[in-house]
């Protein structure tokens, strides 16, 4: 659960991670469990969770720095001389460089992220984009097993075919016993009798590839699409990571997006503002005739319903708002000035 909700991981939740960490520390300390049962969750308010000073952000930073808080926080953890990365690397995912393990077995490949650039219309209606990648992929010769085709796999002598080994480690929480992937066979339980010549027995090679990605209608700046299993392959037949495609939307002249609505400006002259008019306006759907009501004021918004951005995951759309700007000429002819003077008192 800590790995799933870790705030440095995609979709992580810092609040849940904090709750999990606190629960873990209570459950692994008999004294804390007793105090918790007697006094409730705030029993540590005077002493903290085995820490000195600092708030939760300081604690998170201290974990990442190997136990020492940064700046003037005055916060530190005492790990008894052990490396915090080793202690928390597998437990909380600080150390794997983007890797994780599923089911305590073989390592999973890295998650990767690519950026894709879209214009406003592509973001509004969705589009399919071809993306080029260079990543670690399964070897074509051995299909990722690392074993030369036709050769047999031998049972790992270290883990006796279990793929896992039991490890004990002394931490500031006490002696912890963990089950980890076997370092000899990388969690497979078997080793190639004859390593693949093409990949050197790793089962992976750096390869270039292209994939077609469907960008959903309504995606906004900075939002990502997760493609499960399209990340990097792990050595020795491990699981494949995920690919995250992050959207960047180019600014489009005369169009401004706010949520799922679109805004544009429209300049009209004085007579159009007073008498009203019918004017062609550019929208995401092309040119649309807009009725300007009589007596419209500068700055007034006129809504064109359903001509905005498609709502993400739905078929409905936002609206297009046209902001009226009344254009006042800087110079006019003598004849025009005379006519305006005649109308001045009436207006």
- For position 290, what pLDDT does the model report? 95
Per the domain annotation, does 208 fall within a domain?
yes
108 and 82 within one domain: no
Lowest mean pLDDT among 211-215, 233-237, 252-256, 312-316: 233-237
**Res. 42 pLDDT band, cuts 50 70 90:** low
Per-residue pLDDT tens for 215-254?
Answer: 999 999 999 999 999 999 988 777 889 999 999 999 888 8
Residue 27 belongs to domain spanning: 2-92
* Domain boundary pick from 219, 235, 250: 250
Residue 97 lies inside a defined structural domain of this protein: no
> What is d(CA 219, CA 285) in angstroms, rounded to the nearest whole number?
17
Same domain for 206 and 264, yes or no, is: no
Q: Are residues 72 and 171 in the same domain?
A: no
Tell me: do 140 and 213 sit in the same domain.
yes
Across 17-21, 41-45, 309-313, 341-345, least confident range = 41-45
Answer whether residue 111 is part of any domain: yes
- Of 45-59, 152-166, 271-285, the poorest mean pLDDT is in 45-59
- With beta carbons less than 8 A apart as the criterion, state whether 319 and 306 touch: yes
Q: Are residues 307 and 259 in contact, defined by beta-carbon separation less than 8 angstroms? A: no
Are residues 307 and 172 part of one domain?
no
Considering 49, 69, 92, which residue would you say is the last residue of a domain?
92
Q: Answer yes or no: do 74 and 210 share one domain.
A: no
Please tell me whether residues 182 and 224 are part of one structural domain: no
Question: Among 25-29, 296-300, 313-317, 328-332, which stretch is predicted with the lowest mean pLDDT?
Answer: 25-29
pLDDT value of residue 316: 93
pLDDT tens string 98-116: 444 444 455 788 999 999 9
Q: Is residue 187 part of a domain?
A: yes
List C-alpha distances in Å: 198 to 82, 140, 233: 40, 9, 16
Which has the higher per-residue pLDDT, 342 or 120? 120
Grade residue 58 by pLDDT with cuts at 50, 70 and 90.
Answer: low
Contacts of 339 (CB under 8 A, 6+ apart): none
Taking residue 178's Cβ as centre, other Cβ atoms within 10 Å add up to 13
Does 324 reside within a domain?
yes
Q: Are residues 53 and 174 in the same domain?
A: no
- Give the pLDDT score at 218: 94
Domain count, the chain: 4
Tell me which of 211 and 201 has the higher pLDDT. 211
C-alpha angle with apex 63: 58 to 67, nearest 5 degrees? 90
- Using CA atoms in the order 224, 228, 230, 236, what is the torsion angle rounded to 10 degrees? 140
Asked whether residue 338 is domain-assigned, the answer is yes
Residues 19 and 84 placed together within one structural domain of the fold: yes
| pTM metric for this prediction | 0.59
The CA distance from 200 to 192, in Å, is 11
Domain of 289, CATH number, reads: 2.60.260.20
For residue 99, tell me if it sits in a domain. Answer: no
Note whether 204 and 274 are same-domain residues. no
The verdict on 85 and 108 lying in the same domain is no
| Per-residue confidence (pLDDT) for residue 51, from 0 to 100 | 41
On whether both 205 and 241 belong to a single domain, the answer is yes
- Residue 81's pLDDT band, with cuts at 50, 70 and 90, is very low
Give CA–CA dist 186/97, Å, rounded: 17
Q: How many CB atoms lie within 10 A of CB 232?
A: 22
Burial class (CB in 10 A: 0-12, 13-18, 19+), 131: middle
Residue 40 CB neighbour total at 10 angstroms: 8
pLDDT of residue 62: 53
Q: Does pLDDT of 173 surpass 90?
A: no
Asked whether residue 98 is assigned to any structural domain, the reply reads no
Average pLDDT over all residues of the chain? 80
84-93 long-range contacts, CB within 8 A, separation 24+? 86/169, 87/169, 87/171, 87/172, 88/63, 90/178, 90/180, 91/2, 91/3, 91/178, 92/2, 92/3, 92/6, 92/17, 92/21, 92/63, 93/2, 93/3, 93/6, 93/8, 93/9
């Amino acid at each position: 659960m800590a790995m799933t909700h870790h705030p440095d991981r995609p979709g992580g939740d810092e609040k849940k991670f904090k709750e999990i960490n606190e629960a873990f520390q209570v459950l692994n300390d008999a004294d804390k469990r007793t105090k918790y049962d007697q006094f409730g969750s705030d029993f540590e308010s005077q002493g903290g969770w085995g820490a000195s000073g600092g708030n939760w952000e300081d604690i998170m930073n201290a974990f990442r720095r190997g136990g020492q808080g940064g700046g003037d926080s005055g916060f530190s953890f005492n790990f008894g001389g052990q490396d915090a990365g080793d202690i928390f690397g597998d437990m909380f995912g600080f150390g794997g460089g983007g890797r994780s393990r599923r089911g305590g077995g073989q390592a999973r490949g890295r998650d990767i992220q690519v950026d894709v650039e879209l214009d406003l219309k592509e973001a509004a209606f969705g589009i399919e984009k071809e993306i080029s990648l260079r990543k670690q992929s399964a070897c074509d010769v051995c299909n990722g097993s690392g074993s030369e085709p036709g050769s047999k796999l031998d049972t790992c002598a270290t883990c006796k075919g279990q793929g896992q080994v039991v490890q004990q480690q002394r931490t500031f929480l006490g002696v912890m016993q963990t089950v980890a992937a076997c370092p000899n066979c990388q969690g497979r339980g078997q080793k190639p009798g004859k390593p693949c010549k093409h990949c050197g027995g790793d089962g992976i090679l750096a390869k270039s590839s292209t994939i077609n990605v469907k960008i959903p209608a309504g995606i906004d700046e900075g939002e990502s699409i997760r493609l499960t299993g399209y990340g990097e392959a792990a050595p020795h037949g491990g699981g494949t990571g995920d690919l995250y495609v992050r959207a960047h939307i180019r600014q489009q002249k005369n169009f401004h997006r706010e949520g799922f609505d679109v805004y544009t400006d429209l300049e009209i002259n004085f007579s159009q503002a007073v008498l009203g008019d019918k004017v062609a306006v550019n929208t995401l759907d092309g040119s649309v005739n807009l009725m300007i009501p009589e007596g419209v004021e500068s700055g007034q918004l006129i809504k064109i319903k359903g001509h905005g951005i498609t709502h993400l995951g739905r078929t409905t759309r936002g609206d297009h708002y046209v902001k009226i700007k009344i254009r006042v000429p800087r110079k006019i002819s003598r004849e025009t000035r005379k006519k305006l003077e005649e109308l001045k008192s009436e207006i």
